[in-house]
Amino acid sequence: MSVHNRRFTSIPRWFRPPTTAVCLTALLLSYCLCRAAEASLAIIDAGVQQSDDAPFVSTEYHFLPGDFVYFTFQVAGFRIKSDDSTETKQISLEYEVIPEDAKGVPLTAAEKGSIKDTLQPEDKNWTPKRRAHFLLPSFVAAGEYKLHVTVKDLIANTEVARDLPFLIGGVKIQPSPTITVENYHFYRREDDRQPLEVPAFSPGDSVYARFDMVGYKLGPDNGYHLGYGISVSRPDGKPFINQANAAELQASSFYPAQFVPGNINLTTPRNALRGEYVLVLTVRDLNSNQTYESKQAFSIE
């Protein structure tokens, strides 16, 4: 028996090596995907702080109106421009940070900056870090807010944005289309935080009350113009106090004030008639010529 070598003179139809064009296309696609993954611009290690370089606040932390809010972030995935003649590598970034309310209205002016650096060989894994801080408006209501961050890579012509939420505590209000009064409470002392559950005073005491005006119209530059007067009647129905123009408040601000606080301070005589007193508060929106009247009772016992 003899054995003969068998030679295939043709390639089976089920096996065909990829063409050069297909190979190059696959390699190019793979390269582009890898480059895209490597060069994906990103805002990383970002967070809201109570002070510069402090730990990031928890999701339950509440800032208060008039507080400073601090913010730190880093940028990764930026494009590097190489100059073979000088053997240098450069980056070129721009950023903008804006604190905003839930509707996207800025609380303050934006903080802007640029990052233009020359990188050295030891900077291979370096990511730029930037800080910003903002002073919250005084008359901003409690709720959810955010820091909106935008970074642009001027070399790669790409852009990325990110929102970092934070909470503001303090005054809670219900938006109103017309002038009204909310959070009307009596207090024992001028600096008390807790209102009186039963507004009862003794003859000779000072009567303190605080309230918030909401729903007024804003003029140019977010300007408000408000006034209010008070009148108090005794238990026998006779006038006790009448101040038609107790206060007038006018101001403008970068962020439209969500409320304007008012206060009342009355001193009762030592021989004041005991019983229930009715305090009528009349608030005037001088921008829209609207008025609102609120009646509250307190007693002298």
Q: Grade residue 39 by pLDDT with cuts at 50, 70 and 90.
A: low
pLDDT at 5 over 70: no
Q: Are 200 and 276 in contact (CB under 8 A)?
A: no
Q: Are 51 and 116 in contact (CB under 8 A)?
A: no
pLDDT at 206 over 60: yes
Report helix, strand or coil for 86.
Answer: coil
pLDDT tens string 10-34: 444 444 445 544 444 333 333 333 3
Of all residues in the chain, the percent with pLDDT exceeding 70 is 86
What is the average pLDDT across 152-160? 97
CB-neighbour burial class of residue 12 (10 A; exposed 0-12, middle 13-18, buried 19+): exposed
What is the average pLDDT across 51-67? 96
Read off the pTM. 0.81
Assess if CATH 3.10.129.10 describes domain 38-168: no
The residue that leads in pLDDT, 204 or 10, is: 204
Q: Do domains 38-168 and 180-300 have the same CATH topology?
A: yes
Determine the Cα–Cα distance for residues 253 and 49; give it in Å rounded to an integer. 25
Any alpha helices (H) in the chain, and if so which ranges?
Answer: 20-38
Q: Grade residue 124 by pLDDT with cuts at 50, 70 and 90.
A: confident
What is the average pLDDT across 86-103? 91
pLDDT tens string 213-222: 999 999 999 9
Q: What is the structure's pLDDT at 14?
A: 43
Of 27-31, 113-117, 132-136, least confident by mean pLDDT is: 27-31
Report helix, strand or coil for 32.
Answer: helix
Beta strand segments in 66-107, E: 68-76, 81-83, 88-100
The residue that leads in pLDDT, 119 or 264, is: 264
In order of 195, 204, 210, 268, the CA distances from 188 in angstroms are 8, 12, 11, 13
Q: Where are the domains of the chain?
A: 38-168, 180-300
Of 4-8, 192-196, 277-281, least confident by mean pLDDT is: 4-8
In order of 58, 84, 296, the CA distances from 166 in angstroms are 9, 45, 36
Q: Grade residue 135 by pLDDT with cuts at 50, 70 and 90.
A: very high
The residue that leads in pLDDT, 104 or 121, is: 104
Q: What is the structure's pLDDT at 252?
A: 97
Query: Whose structure tokens read 């913010």?
Result: 71
Mean pLDDT in the chain?
88
Residues 21-56 as b/e (b if ≥16 CB within 10 A, e otherwise) read eeeeeeeeeeeeeeeeeebebebeebebbeeeeeeb
Instruction: Mention the CATH class of domain 180-300.
Output: mainly beta
Per the DSSP assignment, residues forming a β-bridge with 159 are: 152
Q: Are 64 and 170 in contact (CB under 8 A)?
A: yes
The residues, ordered by sequence, that sit 6+ positions from 78 with a Cβ below 8 Å of its Cβ are: 39, 41, 91, 93, 153, 155, 156
Determine the Cα–Cα distance for residues 54 and 48; give it in Å rounded to an integer. 9
Q: What end-to-end distance do the CA atoms of the chain give, in Å?
A: 131
Dihedral of the CA atoms 105, 183, 60, 253 (nearest 10)? 30
Question: How many other CB atoms sit within 10 Å of the CB of residue 161?
Answer: 11
